Amino acid sequence: MNLRILWMYHDLMDLYGDKGNAEVLRVRAEKRGIETEIRTCTIGETADVSDYDLFFLGGGADREQELIFKDLLSRKENIRKAMDAHTAFLLVCGGYQLFGKYYKDQDGNTDEGLSFFDYYTEASSRNERCIGNIAIETCMDGETFKAVGFENHGGQTRNVSTPFGKVLKGYGNTIEDGMEGFMNDQVLATYMHGPLLPKNPKIADKILERALKKRYGKVDLAPLDDTLEEAAQKVMLKRLHCL
């Protein structure tokens, strides 16, 4: 068994150690004997997204988002082909925003999104940012659990049909509505950096299962010793009074 990850705009969209997510997936796959290839792809480079099991796109400041959005739009049909071919998607913050209708920043500049989903993002009208540690409760593929992360975004994402989770502490999609991210059975899109996966091993394994499903069907991953990861998560849940 092997796993192919395509890490998009690795040189531009990598806030708060988002690259750690790809690394965690590689380590957790390889501990199960699953050989893992992580290929990067940035502006102007070619890649057939549908060749990969997982498409990973991290977050970025407004400047980086503005730099990449046209290149991303030029790949729309290829990304749709990958969706149809059951590639899994992990999108963080700026990456999450660009899969919706658009992202409009503080100055009114608008980056057109891929419009795969109906949500849209506009910077807070009061110039506020959602910054800090965040804890949520999510139900992924039938399992309910808590997850922690760190968020820093001005964008307020609305019209999300199926959120990733319910905010226990922090902000999530908007300052006021208490929901976080977007999720369907193929795409996980979230405001949670951290990076997300080191302190949330359950999410890491769900992503691995989703990615491996593309070529291997349902895969049962052997359990790993997550004592350290769980202890780190517990520290944050306690600090946020969510335990």
Residues in contact with ligand GLN by CB under 6 A are: 15, 59-62, 65, 93-94, 152-155
Give dist(CA 117, CA 67) in Å, integer.
21
The CB-of-131 to ligand GLN minimum distance in angstroms stands at 9
Please identify, using beta-carbon distances, which residue of 59 and 170 lies nearer to ligand GLN. Answer: 59
Catalytic member of 130, 153, 193, 242 = 193
HEC string for 97-118: HCCCCEEECCCCCEEECCCCCC
| Residue 10 annotated to the active site | no
The nearer residue to ligand GLN, 65 or 200, going by C-beta atoms, is 65
Q: How far is the CB of 33 from ligand GLN (least distance, A)?
A: 34
In degrees rounded to 5, what are phi and psi of residue 190?
A: -150, 155
Q: What are the structure tokens assigned to 47, written together?
A: 């890649």
Pair of tokens at residue 200: 């949330």
* Candidate list 41, 93, 130, 242, residue with the active-site label: 93
- Nearest CB to ligand GLN, comparing residues 19 and 153: 153
Torsion over CA: 231, 232, 233, 235 (sign)? positive
**CA end-to-end span of the chain:** 38
86 as an active site residue: the answer is no
Q: For residue 88, how many C-alpha atoms fall within 13 Å in the half-sphere facing its CB? A: 23
Residue (59 or 201) nearer to ligand GLN, CB = 59
C-beta nearest to ligand GLN: residue: 59
Return d(Cα 134, Cα 104) in angstroms, integer. 23
Shortest Å, Cβ 76 to ligand GLN: 20
CB of 139 to ligand GLN, least distance (A): 25
For the annotated catalytic residues, the residue numbers are 93, 193
